[in-house]
Amino acid sequence: MKIQECMSKDVTVCAPDDTIRDVARKMLECDCGVMPIGENDRLVGVVTDRDIAIRAVAEGKGPDTPARSVMSAEVLYCYEDEDLQEVSDNLATLKIRRMPVVNRDKRLVGIVSLGEIARQDGNSGEAAFREVSKPGGPHRQA
């Protein structure tokens, strides 16, 4: 199965100069925990609810802080035509729960979560959940 068969295709994108208040409001409207950040038709970062809590609130930044100051600029993504198992393994290795999905022109076409993978393939999702839940990993909030 390919990722394009289980990803969420209706993805909202914010701009780097949008405030974290605007990003949080869009997360509330979309009922999501991650917001892709795009500029000039390209994905330039992502902001998670955790980024807002750790990189903004914990650091004393106000709601008018631009998203670019709290976003993760290292965008980890997968391609829409990749196999579900390959992406699941990648999520587990990277210890992340969600990942933007791009086409081969690197244009954002969706987002995939471990939950969506687990609904399609319980074995892949279960193994990835176990790995993601282990302490540690390559990404830190600082």
**For residue range 8-33, what is the model confidence (pLDDT) as tens digits?**
998 999 999 999 999 999 999 999 99
Residue 60 inside a domain? The answer is yes
- CATH number (domain holding residue 71): 3.10.580.10
Residue 140 inside a domain? The answer is no
Residue 43 inside a domain? The answer is yes
d(CA 89, CA 13): 26
Q: What's the angle, vertex CA 37, arms to CA 73 and CA 49, rounded to 5?
A: 85
Residue 56 inside a domain? The answer is yes
In the block, tokens 């176990």 appear at: 130
d(CA 87, CA 92): 9
Q: Rounded to two decimals, what is the model's pTM? A: 0.83
pLDDT of residue 25: 97
How far from the centroid of its chain's Cα atoms is residue 37's Cα?
Answer: 10
**For residue range 109-133, what is the model confidence (pLDDT) as tens digits?**
999 988 888 787 656 556 665 566 6
Residue 138 inside a domain? The answer is no
Looking at the structure of the chain, the number of domains it has is 1
Residue 125 inside a domain? The answer is yes
Closest CA to 117 of 101, 102, 104: 101
pLDDT greater at residue 102 or residue 140: 102
Domain residues for the domain of 72 are 3-133
The overall average pLDDT reported for the chain is: 87
Closest CA to 107 of 62, 56, 42: 42
**For residue range 36-70, what is the model confidence (pLDDT) as tens digits?**
999 988 899 999 999 999 999 999 999 999 999 99
Q: Between β-strands 78-79 and 42-48, what pairing exists: parallel, antiparallel or unpaired?
A: unpaired
